[in-house]
Every structure is written in C-alpha cells, then in structure tokens.
C-alpha cells in the first residue's frame, strides 16, 4: 500500500521523504541497500552459503540504482516539498523505475557487446521492475509512518510543555506580585522597574510557547530581569557571580530555559539558608557544544527535592529534546556542597534558519 492510501490530510513531500542531499542519509540508504542485496544472495545460494559472483553483480547494480535515484530526488527536493503525498509517491516511484530500466538495459547492452549473438531478454527487466516497485513502495510507506509518528510525538511534546508552563506561570506571578506590592508604598520607582521586568518575562514566556529559539544573550537579559525581582525579596542574601564567554552570546536556546534553573537555585539553595549564598552562572564553548552551568549552595540539611523542582527539570529536558533532539542535554549533580545544573547545547549561531535545528 502506498502512503497515499492512508486517509487524512495531505502532507508535503518533505514531511515524509528524507533529505537525500545529506551525506548521512545517503550512507544509511547505501548500507540498507547492501543488507537487502546480501539477503537476496543468501536466499539464492544453494550449494554454498553465498554466490559471490551474484552478490558482486547485484551489489553494483543496486548501489548505482540507489545513488542515481537519490541524486534525482535530491535535485527535485524543492519541488517535492510543495506536493501532496500522492504526487510525491508517484514521482519517486517513476524516478526509481526509470533508473532501474536504464541500468538494466545498459547491463544487457554490455553483455551483448561481450557475447556476440546474445539476444535481448525482457524477463530480467520485468523482474527488476517488479522488485523495485515493491521495495520502493515499502520504503515510502515506512518513511510516511515514521513521519506521522514524529508529528504525533511532537504534538504530544508541545501539549506537555504547554501544561507544564501553565503550572509554573501562576506560581512565579504570585511571588513577583507580592514583591512588587511591598515596594509600592516605600519605593514607587523601583516598583515600576519591577513591573517592567515582569512584563518582559511574560512576553518571553508567551513567545516560548511558539517553539522559537532565541540567542543566549537575550535569555541572559531576561534572567537578569528575573533576578532583579528576586533581589527585591531576598536583598543581600542573594549574590551573583556571572562568568560569561562572549563567544557564547549568539548561541540559540529555547526561551525560558535558563530562568527555571535560576528559580530552582533560589528556592532550593538560597532561600532555605539564613545567610543566603551565591549563584554562579558560567558559559563556555568546546568544538561542538556550548555549556551553561548554574550552581548554588546546598542548605545545611538537604531535604527531599520538591515536586516543583523535578517538574522544572523535566520541563527543561522536554524543551531541549523538542528543539535539539538527543544532541542537547541537561546534567545535574551534587558536588562539594553545591548543586550544579549544566546545559549542553549543540553550537548554533543566531543566523541559523528555522524554528528548530
């Protein structure tokens, strides 16, 4: 059954056909093709495990067919992106069949040139076309189902993130409003600045639900706004140590990814300590990743972590998985009386196109 046989809305070709212009995709395709060829050779073998002559010839034919088909699909990728599933399926199938026909006829022509008097045979061409049709449709069906699964997984991820965000926002709003209310009578100017900081944070929160990525520099600015609000409540008990690498400032990051780590550092590290403590924020880069570390002192008696703490960490990990897949991580550990949370992000400058890598 072709992908078009599935009921539901039509998706663009790009939704289920992989990008065959990428080296990684071509490598996977060639390895898969060779495994299928080996399977055919094992099935054909009778007196011995495998017919090496047959394996060599079929491997040569199959790999050239796959490479040529992939090159044509790559050239037509932009056009296929705009087509519905049915058109994409038929187009890809026809391309593969044309390539198979061409290489089959070329092989027969070479055999006739090497063996005078050999007549053309149409059975090999018919057999190759049937095999190519079955394998191509099965492959396209697999790509289509994988695409639908990824779309459903992404939708569930977005819904989960929205639910987590809705639970966090009221908690933060109430704490901030209490701090602002205490300043209205004593310091109206500072209360006004706090309201502006709060507005900036909530604008970023609304944008964060759209899946956009922002430069780390912008995220740091929002975190400073948040910490200014918390300083109204904690005063000198809250000390900050910023050690930021300028080369990291344009690193892309999901909005409000760093702020929950700072919130955890305050509520689980600074607030329980009578004398407060220092929150340290450090950023650096290696060859392939940007690292952002947030550390805070642990209270004298480390109690069981609150549910909100675990929810915030789960929220961040879900955001990273949605934006970067497995290439981004959040690592946490307790060391030398400190709790450390480290964001590990694939290096992406702010000029990177698209909402997600």
Q: Tens digit of pLDDT per residue, the chain (357 long)?
A: 444 433 333 444 446 888 888 888 889 889 998 998 888 888 876 667 777 888 888 899 999 999 999 999 999 888 888 888 889 999 999 999 999 999 888 888 887 777 776 666 778 888 889 999 999 999 999 888 888 887 777 777 666 666 655 555 566 677 778 878 877 888 788 888 888 888 877 776 666 555 578 899 999 998 998 888 888 878 889 999 999 999 999 999 988 889 889 988 988 889 888 888 999 999 999 989 999 999 999 876 655 455 546 667 877 888 788 788 778 999 999 988 899 999 999 987 655 544 444
The encoded tokens of residue 152 equal 């459903």
Q: How many CA atoms lie within 13 A of 29 on its CB side?
A: 25
- At residue 131, the 3 state secondary structure works out as helix
pLDDT of residue 31: 92
pLDDT of residue 354: 43
pLDDT of residue 11: 43
Is the pTM above the cut of 0.85? Answer: no
- At residue 47, the 3 state secondary structure works out as coil
pLDDT of residue 353: 44
Phi and psi, residue 285, nearest 5° = -130, 150
Please name the helix (run of DSSP H) or strand (run of DSSP E) that holds residue 239, with its range, or none: strand 238-243
pLDDT of residue 6: 39
Ordered by start, the domain boundaries in the chain are 3-153, 187-346
Cα–Cα distance measured from residue 324 to residue 329, given in angstroms and rounded to the nearest whole number: 9
**How many other CB atoms are there within 10 angstroms of residue 273's CB atom?**
14
Q: In this structure, what DSSP letter does residue 269 have? A: I
Cα–Cα distance measured from residue 311 to residue 308, given in angstroms and rounded to the nearest whole number: 5
Q: In this structure, what DSSP letter does residue 64 have? A: H
Please name the fold of domain 187-346. Heat Shock Protein 90 (3.30.565)
The residues, any chain, with a CB within 8 Å of residue 332's CB and separated by 6 or more, are 313, 339, 340, 341, 342
The residues, any chain, with a CB within 8 Å of residue 267's CB and separated by 6 or more, are 306, 308, 309
pLDDT of residue 196: 85
């Amino acid at each position: 059954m072709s992908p078009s046989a599935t009921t539901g809305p039509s998706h663009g070709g790009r939704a289920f056909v992989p990008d065959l212009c990428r080296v990684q995709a071509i490598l996977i395709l060639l390895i898969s093709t060779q495994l299928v060829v080996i399977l055919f050779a094992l099935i054909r073998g009778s007196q011995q495990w495998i017919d090496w002559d047959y394996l060599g010839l079929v491997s040569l034919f199959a790999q050239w067919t796959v490479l040529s088909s992939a090159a044509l699909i790559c050239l037509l990728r932009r056009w296929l992106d705009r087509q519905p599933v049915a058109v994409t399926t038929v187009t890809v199938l026809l391309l593969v069949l044309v390539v198979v026909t061409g290489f089959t006829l070329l092989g027969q022509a070479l055999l006739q040139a090497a063996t005078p008097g050999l007549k053309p045979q149409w059975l090999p061409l018919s057999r190759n076309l049937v095999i190519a049709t079955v394998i191509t449709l099965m492959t396209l069906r697999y790509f289509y189902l994988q695409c639908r699964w990824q779309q459903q997984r992404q939708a569930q991820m977005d819904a989960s993130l929205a639910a987590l965000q809705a639970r966090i926002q009221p908690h933060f709003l109430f704490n901030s409003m209490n701090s602002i209310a205490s300043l209205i009578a004593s310091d109206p100017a500072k209360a006004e600045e706090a309201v502006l900081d709060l507005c900036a944070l909530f604008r970023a929160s609304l944008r964060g639900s759209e899946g956009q990525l922002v430069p780390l520099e912008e995220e740091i600015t929002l975190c400073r706004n948040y910490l200014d609000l918390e300083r109204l409540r904690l005063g000198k008990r809250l000390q900050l140590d910023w050690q930021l690498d300028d080369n990291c400032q344009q690193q892309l990051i999901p909005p409000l990814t760093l702020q929950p780590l700072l919130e955890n550092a305050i509520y689980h590290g600074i607030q329980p300590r009578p004398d407060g403590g220092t929150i340290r924020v450090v950023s650096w880069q290696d060859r392939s990743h940007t690292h952002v570390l947030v550390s805070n002192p642990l209270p004298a008696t480390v109690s069981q972590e609150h549910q909100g703490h675990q929810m915030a960490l789960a929220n961040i990990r879900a955001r990273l998985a949605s934006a970067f897949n497995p290439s981004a991580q959040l690592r946490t550990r307790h060391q030398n009386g400190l709790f450390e949370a480290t964001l590990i992000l694939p290096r992406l400058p702010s000029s990177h196109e698209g909402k997600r890598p």
